[in-house]
Structure 1
Amino acid sequence: MDVLASVLDQMGRFLVCAVRIVDPETNRVVRERRSDSFWGRFPDLTLSQTKNYLSLSLSKRQPVFHFIHKGNRILLLLAAPFQLSGKTMLSETVVDATGHIFLNGVDLNGEKGLLNRIRLTQAQAVTDELTGLYNRRYIDEHLPSEIHACMEKRHPLSVIFADLDFYKNVNDVFGHTAGDRVLCEFAELLTGNIRKGKDWAARYGGEEFLIFLNNRGYQRSKEIAERIRIAVMNHTFYHDGRAIKITCSFGVLTVDDFSESPTAEEILDAVDKRLYRAKKLGRNTVV
């Protein structure tokens, strides 16, 4: 059976708007089919994130889902890997999910403003519940596309890895509630030192945080990290009237060589090594 026809058959109850087969190695569309009802271009975002969708699908062993809003319609992108002649390919299918998605038992077509609730649900899925920053899922899904966009525009990009020094001591001495408070206030210090709408910060996990700086060279990015380092060092955190002091170490990496496009994994690995060097140098420093 034709691969595209097979994918269409499996979509069952949904109205398939478009489907394409992408070669992850070349990021090239091998085949594409769309219904008469599908208007506009296939979402560009999916093509730029092909390799990321592939890695996520393979690691989770299940399709990756992504909502797309077009007017009053809810489109759902499903990306899933499959084998074709011994080669791993990626199928990307757009389906019209309007009228098929239910939230708390309420049909999308039956309540005004439900689209906003869906957007809220999506936002919550990529937001760290404690700090309000983006979470690891956001990093995994958006860092590859940010890299691709900077490479396309030939703009430098910088990634900062931050780690609170001896954070475990805060939990041990003051308690986990105090530790949570420190993380929240630290998140505020991060967002207060980056450009809203251009840069973003995310909680990578535990006491580790990532900052993405768009169109920023190494020297300027290092200055930003140094500014945050000083702000943290001079800041006094309080919990139940008790003062808490803490410092932070930073690794900074800039990509401004456009001859090759590094993957998100390669960038994260490189900046993590810089953070490790900052720790080895005595902490409370920027490398």
Structure 2
Amino acid sequence: MDKTIALEELQLHLDFFKKMYQVVRIVDPTTKKVLNYNDKSIEYTDGICYSYWENDSMCENCVSMRAFFSKDTVYKLEYLSDKVYMITAIPIRSTDGLVILELLKDVTHTMLIDTEDNEKAHNIKSYISNMNDMVVKDPLTGLYNRRFIDERLPVDIIQSLLNEKPLSIIMTDIDQFKAINDELGHIEGDSKIKQYGEILKSSIRLENDWVARYGGDEFLICLNNTDNDTAYSIAERIRKKIERDMSLNKHGNINITGSFGICTMYKEEMTAEDMMKTADNNLFIAKEKGKNIVIR
């Protein structure tokens, strides 16, 4: 259900919001830009939304992206400089599309937090971090989950277009995973999924790229500023490492390998669904051609 509000409605209440909240701002969740609202119009600024939290990169659990996709109000806790903030993200309809109103309120004292107690403050910060991780992390592998893919991949696509840099994704899964489960059991099967994910994560640039568990034994790797040839080389390196390092259970005789499908976009408009469909089709071809190969 669409629960957005119109920009004109926002104008009526903006001054009131500023009396209630420490920070009132409008952001474009897809570009991460902070926007100015003047005389019924919105203008882009050079401000980046996540810099407020003293971050050098996008927030993992982006509250504005969640509000953007759900078209509903979303809440989140954040911690900064010994203070706890409640963020309310409200989707706003404008002539330029959907933007997000972010309302930041200091709730430190209402939560009975003693900021002079360093141990308690550290525990609160860890609790908030763990709580935010639960939204976007897969509990088995510790990697990002499908929700993170849905929220983050569209942002990376837009950044790719704006910066005119290539973006590649790799879809991969474990070959004959059902047979592995049948042969070794589900506990060992889960162990193999976890090991597979660890190899994927150790094979990318964590400051630029990310990997998520798409579902079951299937994973998605996102490689920013990476052309098709480089993505192919990375996938080949991972494929060989999996073939070499994923040891067999002493009770099993199944060779554990992985197949890979790649999609690269550069200066062309592809949606997240387009990219995933292309990569998944290439993964299917890899399976048809005998598995344990990379198709691009």
Fold shared per TM-score above 0.5: yes
Aligned to 2:291: 283
- Asked if 1:226 is matched to 2:226, the reply is no
- Structure 1 distance, partners of 2:135, 2:239, is 29
* Partner deviation per Cα, 1:113-140 (whole Å, 9 max, x = no partner): 2223312322343221111222122222
CA displacement 1:14-48 (0-9 Å, x = unmatched): 62621448799xx9968469xxxxxx9572669xx
Q: 1:171 aligns with which of 166, 181, 184?
A: 181
1:4 aligns with: 10
Decide which moves more: 237-246 or 152-161: 237-246
Distance between the aligned counterparts of 1:237 and 1:212, measured in 2? Answer: 26
Letter in 2 for 1:125: V
1:123 aligned residue = 133
Equivalence map 1:129-144=2 (5 Å): 129-144=139-154
User: CA 1:283–1:65 in 2, change beyond 3 Å: closer, same or farther?
Assistant: farther
1:151-196 residue CA offsets vs partner (Å, 9 max, x unmatched): 3332212100001122111112211001011111111221232223
**Aligned equivalents of 2:229, 2:90: Cα separation in 1:** 40
- 2:239 partner amino acid: R
Relative to the length of structure 2, the TM-score reads: 0.73
Q: Which residue of 2 aligns with 1:57?
A: 70
Contact 2:64 2:89 in 1 (8 A): no
* Partner of residue 262, structure 1: 270
Change (3 A) 1:75 1:262: farther
Deviation string, structure 1 residues 240-259 (Cα, Å, up to 9, x no partner): 654542221111111122xx
Identical columns (%):
30
Distance (Å, rounded) in 2 between the aligned partners of 1:88 and 1:155: 24
Residue 252 of structure 2 corresponds to residue 246 of structure 1:
no
Give the Cα separation in 2 of the matches to 1:101 and 1:272: 48
CA contact (8 A) 2:67 2:73 kept: no
Per the alignment, residue 96 of structure 1 pairs with: 105
Q: 1:84 to 1:228 in 2, by over 3 A?
A: closer
Q: CA deviation digits over 1:63-110, x for unaligned, max 9?
A: 23455554344444433446689x9744422221433775xxx64757
- CA shift for structure 1 position 262: 2.9
Q: 2:200 aligned with 1:190, yes or no?
A: yes
Aligned counterparts of 1:50 and 1:116: Cα–Cα separation in 2: 18
3-state SS of the aligned residue for 1:226?
A: helix
Structure-2 change in CA distance of 1:14 and 1:169 (3 Å): farther
Task: Return the TM-score normalized by structure 1.
Answer: 0.75
1:271 to 262, 279, 292: 279
Aligned to 1:37: none
- Report the residue type matching 1:98 in the other structure: V
RMSD: 3.9
* Cα gap change, 1:23 to 1:195, in 2 (>3 Å): closer
CA gap of 1:194–1:29, structure 2 versus 1, over 3 A, is closer
Q: Which moved more, 1:224-233 or 1:162-171?
A: 224-233
Q: Which amino acid aligns with 1:131?
A: T
The 3 A distance-change label for structure 1 pair 21 and 200 is closer
Distance 1:80 1:273, change over 3 A: farther
Bigger mean CA offset, 188-197 vs 155-164? 188-197
Instruction: Within 5 Å, give how 1:27-38 maps onto structure 2.
Output: 31=37
**Mapping of residues 144-159 of structure 1, within 5 Å:** 144-159=154-169
Quick one: which of 178, 181, 192 aligns to 2:191? 181
Instruction: For structure 1, list consecutive stretches of 5 or more residues without a partner in the other structure.
Output: 34-39
Q: Secondary structure at the match of 1:161?
A: strand
Indicate how the Cα distance of structure 1 residues 173 and 55 shifts in structure 2: closer, same or farther if over 3 A, else same: farther
